[in-house]
Structure 1
Amino acid sequence: MSEDFKVKILLIEDEENVRESYVDMLGFLGYDVITADNGKTGLEVINRQPIDIVITDLNMPVMNGMEALRRIKKKNEEIQVIVITGFATIENAISAMKQGAFDYITKPVSLEHVKIVLNKCIQQIRSRRENEELKHLNAQLREINELKNKFITITNHELRTPLAVLKGYMDLLEMELEDHPSEDIQEYLGIISNTLTEMINMIEMMHDLSSFESLISKQNRTVFDINALADSLFKEIKILFDKRGVEFSFRGEQRPLFVNADQQLLKKAIRELTQNALKFTETGKKVELSVKFIPTKNQVYVVIKDQGIGIPHEKLDLIFEPFYEVQDVMHHFTSRTDFMGGGIGVGLSLVKEIIEASNGEIAVESKPDEGSIFTVILPLAEVSENVRVSSYTL
């Protein structure tokens, strides 16, 4: 018996010498045993303490094994009962199993037979306990997830409005004091303004986390042109790169490339990857978004290549873990686009979820100080006259 998994066994046998021989046998196998001399005293033991397995003879005075079995199962279905029977009463053993007994052992009782039956019984108990523990843990996870979503919703609602008002008045104050001669005042205003912007960005990221998870659970899959979607995204976000002074380019195929996925989610995932590349690429360097068809694999590659700071080799396996950030958390500040700006550490984790939910994969190559290449790999969808093709615009 495994040392890390203990069971309590109750042995019910009316003949003292036979009972002692069974106790010796079970002790040899490594089990601690409680004994009772009939079904009635056996039930009294069960009422006083938890029991996992009952091994009982069928033929006993006061209360026989069959009646004990019925009462044990009525009291606690989870207690496993093994009956001991002679060859002449094998029909009784089968009847006992129909009433809920786990198995039966025939007389004369052999050590090997007892060992086999108990091992099977304990494995069933172990599996049941593990399943119950998993159910309990899943229930806890669902509860935690609901609390998290409520917290995010409340935080988003309660903080977004006052922060937006503060930021608005802060911007007005900065304009009013734009020509103020005091450098200290200008510096203080800048610090306050940047701090408010960070807080607003953090709230928006938390809102995105909640909405991403909701969308993943309610996918709306359609067939659409990923080449056109990437081109549309490029045009939408190029201004962010221009503001940072990072060169941003797009290269696509000359033909439509259809995939079957939730286009809103996939667009969010690619946007996250491109903005992530922007955050970790210095001014004056390049980021490229490209879409490629790989005919030998019948796959579409969406590639985001940057000349950023890169990722250390030992951290490549960690970047898709929830709440993990590559940069030093002691120097964290929140931003979607500023160089080395941080988030809440869930972006790449959600990206991976979205891509896998789209029957795709994501791969990454990176070298410190040289840059990174993220590749989204998607199966090419078959398009026939019966398939509805969606517009790529969102």
Structure 2
Amino acid sequence: MKKNQDTIHILVVDDEEGIRAGVERILVRMGLKVFTAERGDIALDILDREDISIVLLDLKMPGLDGMQVLMRIRGKNPDILVIVITGYATVETAIEAMKQGAYDFVAKPFEPEHLRIIVNRALEKIRLTFEAEILELERKRTLADLGTEKSRIRTIIESLPNGIVVTNSTGHVALMNPAFLKLLGLDFYPDSTDGHIEHYVKDEGFCSLVMRISQCSYDDAGNIPPYEFSTSDDKYLMARIRPVVGDENECLGAVISIEDITALKMLDRLKSEFVAKVSHELRSPLSTIHEQLASVLNDMAGEDSNGERQLLNRAKEKTSGLISLIGDLLDLSRIEAGMVCNELKPVCVSTLLKNIVDFLSTRTKGKQQSIKLNLPETTLPSVQSDPLALESIFGNLIANAINYTQEGGEIIVSAFAEEKNLVVEVKDNGFGIDPKYIDKIFDKFFRIKNEKTRFITGTGLGLPIVKGLLEDIGGSIIVKSTPGKGSVFTVAFPIGDHGNR
């Protein structure tokens, strides 16, 4: 910001009236406000009353001479620029005045242009000094605002109930809050947060994931799943990790949010134990009832008692449905407890699909349906996985297609390799799914009820089991369906070593 020259006041101090008048005329034409004084004491009085920026001071005056006035000015206001006026015979005195703090000097006699150059130089110094002061004030204000903002952000972070950690690109901790230390059971708060994340969290998988994300080497940064780990037998934590990316898309590190999920884990454990206990207690008597009903029906073969046979058949179907429900509940509880996909073996998916299709073909014949298996000419690669998990996934999907396809319909099962994934499609031309139900079909116990499906028996747990198993093996499932035309369930999971993530 440039200081306006109209705000600059200049005092001319000289005992010669002609010099004072001549200098005043030159300076007024430059747009400056000028004060004059013929003696040193008058000059000092004007300096006490007016905001003077520049003083043109004659060194040789009666009474207080110029050097004395200069020393008074330097003592009162060192920011005033003093330009001494001297004759050629007193140049040495002018040099001495410069040593005492004078800004410049002009020798008598002087040309108007020479005086204007010296005064303009002083005006430029005042302008630059003023701008420097403004910049310094702005810098201090910016630093104060930044300090306030940093203090505000730190206050917010430190008051959050979740643990917050920020790492740089090398995995060293740049910021943490007290909740993080409390969750990890650490009783210290380091003076400088420059330790590696491994210093605070001893879980190898967690630290490895943090390093990958901190260096932006995670394959899908937009879809990073939460990571669960435990610090002891009775504490479980869940971490959500996201990369920190700079303005030029460079990787700066990672921000980690950690929350305590011990209560949820304990609730899941209690629920699983309850389901397992109840299911176990129910399965045995139901199986006995089912076998007894089958035995009675066999004994009644040939007897003329259609009403009784129909009643017993319905009871047998209901007990069979309950046994299936109990089996699905047990499978689901094992999936949620992480008790599946632990025994990994090489699995030939082609052979597995052939066996499942052959086994379920008897059901399609009963409904006059056709089922076809499409495999590529080249052998599909084997996968390292849990064979029982894959059998449950494909078995549920194919059985689902059979159940929800009308008599005379068609089911096509296809398998092929695509990039790094093995893809299996189960396609049917059955009843289809209304778009509003697509997001609900993987919910536990959800079943679509309409004119075409109300007589179909099932537990509503088949698709939730499929989704749970796929999550454990790092797979995915996509559903496309058109009401009245059929559905396509597409499963993809990585080829190679994979298991519980």
Please report the TM-score for the alignment, with normalisation by the length of structure 1. 0.58
Q: With CA pairs under 8 Å and 6+ residues apart, which has the higher RCO, 1 or 2?
A: 1
Contact (CA 8 Å) 1:216, 1:357: kept in 2 or not?
no
Counterpart position of 1:355? 470
Q: 1:122 aligns with which of 156, 171, 184?
A: 156
Aligned residue runs from structure 1 range 1-394, under 5 A: 116-128=150-162, 138-214=261-337, 218-258=341-381, 259-294=383-418, 297-327=419-449, 340-343=456-459, 345-381=460-496
Give the 3 Å change call, closer, same or farther, for CA 111–313 of structure 1 in structure 2. Answer: closer
Contact (CA 8 Å) 1:269, 1:351: kept in 2 or not?
yes
Question: Partners in 1 of 2:350 and 2:338 — Cα distance?
Answer: 22
Contact (CA 8 Å) 1:301, 1:376: kept in 2 or not?
yes
Partner-residue secondary structure (3-state), 2:285? helix
Contact (CA 8 Å) 1:274, 1:304: kept in 2 or not?
yes
Contact (CA 8 Å) 1:311, 1:368: kept in 2 or not?
yes
Give the 3 Å change call, closer, same or farther, for CA 176–350 of structure 1 in structure 2. Answer: closer
Question: Partners in 2 of 1:326 and 1:253 — Cα distance?
Answer: 34
Question: Partners in 1 of 2:313 and 2:431 — Cα distance?
Answer: 27
Partner-residue secondary structure (3-state), 1:324? coil
1:253-300 Cα distance to aligned partner (Å, 9 max, x none): 222212343333122111111111112112221112121234xx3543
In the alignment, residue 156 of structure 1 is paired with which amino acid? S
Partner-residue secondary structure (3-state), 1:249? strand
Give the 3 Å change call, closer, same or farther, for CA 340–188 of structure 1 in structure 2. Answer: closer
Question: Partners in 1 of 2:486 and 2:407 — Cα distance?
Answer: 14
Partner-residue secondary structure (3-state), 2:160? helix
Counterpart position of 1:67? none
Q: Gaps spanning 5+ residues in structure 2: where?
A: 1-143, 165-178, 184-236, 239-257
In the alignment, residue 120 of structure 1 is paired with which amino acid? R
Please report the TM-score for the alignment, with normalisation by the length of structure 2. 0.47
In the alignment, residue 299 of structure 2 is paired with which amino acid? E
Contact (CA 8 Å) 2:423, 2:493: kept in 1 or not?
yes
Question: Partners in 2 of 1:173 and 1:120 — Cα distance?
Answer: 75
Contact (CA 8 Å) 1:223, 1:381: kept in 2 or not?
no
1:59-115 Cα distance to aligned partner (Å, 9 max, x none): xxxxxxxxxxxxxxxxxxxxxxxxxxxxxxxxxxxxxxxxxxxxxxxxxxx898567
In the alignment, residue 397 of structure 2 is paired with which amino acid? L
In the alignment, residue 158 of structure 2 is paired with which amino acid? Q
In the alignment, residue 125 of structure 1 is paired with which amino acid? S
Identity %: 23
Counterpart position of 2:103? none
Deviation at 1:372, TM superposition (A): 0.6
Give the 3 Å change call, closer, same or farther, for CA 218–354 of structure 1 in structure 2. Answer: closer
Deviation at 1:214, TM superposition (A): 4.9
Partner-residue secondary structure (3-state), 1:206? helix
Question: Partners in 1 of 2:334 and 2:409 — Cα distance?
Answer: 32
Give the 3 Å change call, closer, same or farther, for CA 151–244 of structure 1 in structure 2. Answer: farther
Question: Partners in 1 of 2:298 and 2:409 — Cα distance?
Answer: 32
In the alignment, residue 297 of structure 2 is paired with which amino acid? E
Partner-residue secondary structure (3-state), 1:302? strand
Question: Partners in 1 of 2:413 and 2:490 — Cα distance?
Answer: 10
Structure label with greater radius of gyration:
2
How many pairs does the alignment contain? 265
Partner-residue secondary structure (3-state), 1:245? coil
Contact (CA 8 Å) 2:480, 2:489: kept in 1 or not?
yes
